[in-house]
Amino acid sequence: MKTEVVLGVTGGIAAYKACEIVRGLRKRGCSVTVVMTRGAEQFVTPVTFQALSGRKAITSLFDLGEADIQHLALARECRLLLIAPATANLLGKLASGIADDFLTTFALAVRSPFLIAPAMNPKMWAHAAVQENVRRLEERGCLFIGPDEGPMAEEAWGVGRLAEPERIVDRALEILGSRRSLAGRQLLVTAGPTRERIDAVRFLSNASSGKMGYAIASAAVRRGADVTLVSGPTSLPDPEGVRVIRVTSAAEMREAVLGALPAATVVVKAAAVSDFAAAAPVDRKVKKNGAPLTLDLVSTPDILKEIAAVKEGRFVVGFAAETEDVVANARKKLLEKGLDLIVANDVSGGAIFGDEEGAVVIVDRQGREERFGPASKHEIAEHLLDMIEARSAA
């Protein structure tokens, strides 16, 4: 397997977060080789990175077990050099062209895209020398992500915090995304739950986290698609490069989806829209008085059915969260609503919702079933897009 990402790790307190970056890249299908400075070894051991990446972490300029000089051999295979965290010291060496260890030597030898995620004390980040080094590196084509503002070591607060690992992974994959198989396609994706108000403080909802829909939106952008994501309430940040419309209720989601539908060529309805809403929500808080409370419920709009009724050449994918007869119920939904694909989840016992991994059964109009997983939701998203590409092009 060819190396796609070389991850440089330097000696800052944020070095432990590089472990999450390795895991995130690996989950998304990247091979990763970790290069550590001597300072980084004071915070995380090479053995840790070897366990996470499946490859020996490089800590010195020459490895006598190899016939070739490693920085030249690795440079031929590397598609992205990512340094996270990058200290002020490293930025200074890179800006000056200093090559006194494996990482800085490799940085001069490699010709792949170069992404840097700085992390340091806010006063250091704000120093004129550091900012000048950043400017010089940007002029040479280096890309930066972060640093972010937030709490730091020693109770400091300010700009200098390493960008969140998930955001770094997303940006790395965006840079790697030379696969433009969805270029020119317009995807409309829905995600998350909806909330149907009962009174001023209570609502009906479900446990959907939105992670599946967000993963699909991110993966589609990396393949070159123009993506609109209509999201119910979630705690997830907006995916890079995705147009996000945030809604709360099923009625609001319907309005947003129908508004974005005319431009869409592919629709993926991953949202867990509430099936029922209170018939008469009230603006005040309903007080508990010891007596039973009876709620009259009405059905919410069937957004997926409305979309499928006006397909006009669109490729439409639905999701089915079931607790029994999972595949049979999913197939019935696919046929009743005229879908092209349906992704069936077994959610008995609360499975899938909020989890990082899952297993699905994907059924197409010809009745073919394909089981996928257990796998991360990002891997499921990539697999689903592969199926959409193959079947929508047929």
- 330 exposure class (CB count in 10 Å sphere: 0-12, 13-18, 19+): buried
Estimate the crossing angle of helix 128-139 against helix 88-96, to 10 degrees: 50
Residue 42 sits at the vertex; the CA angle it makes with 37 and 48, to the nearest 5 degrees, is 80
Query: Do residues 345 and 320 touch, judged by C-beta distance below 8 A?
Result: yes
Identity of residue 158 = G
Q: Can the peptide bond before residue 239 be classed as cis, meaning omega within 30 degrees of 0? A: no
Among residues 89, 206, 289, 329, which one is catalytic?
206
Which neighbouring-strand residues pair with 321? 345
Helix (H/G/I), strand (E/B), else coil: 134: helix
Cβ(322)–Cβ(363) below 8 Å:
no
Tell me which residue of 252, 250, 236, 260 sits closest to 186, measured CA to CA: 260
**253 is written with which tokens?**
């989601």
Tokens of 181: 């198989």
Amino acid at 126: A
Look at residue 193 and give its three-state secondary structure. strand
Q: Which residue has the tokens 């592969």?
A: 386
Closest CA to 356 of 335, 333, 383, 374: 374
Told to judge if 133 belongs to the known catalytic residues of this protein, a careful annotator would answer no
Q: Residues 303, 250: contact at Cβ < 8 Å?
A: yes
What are residue 89's phi and psi, to 5 degrees? -60, -45
Active site positions, annotated: 206
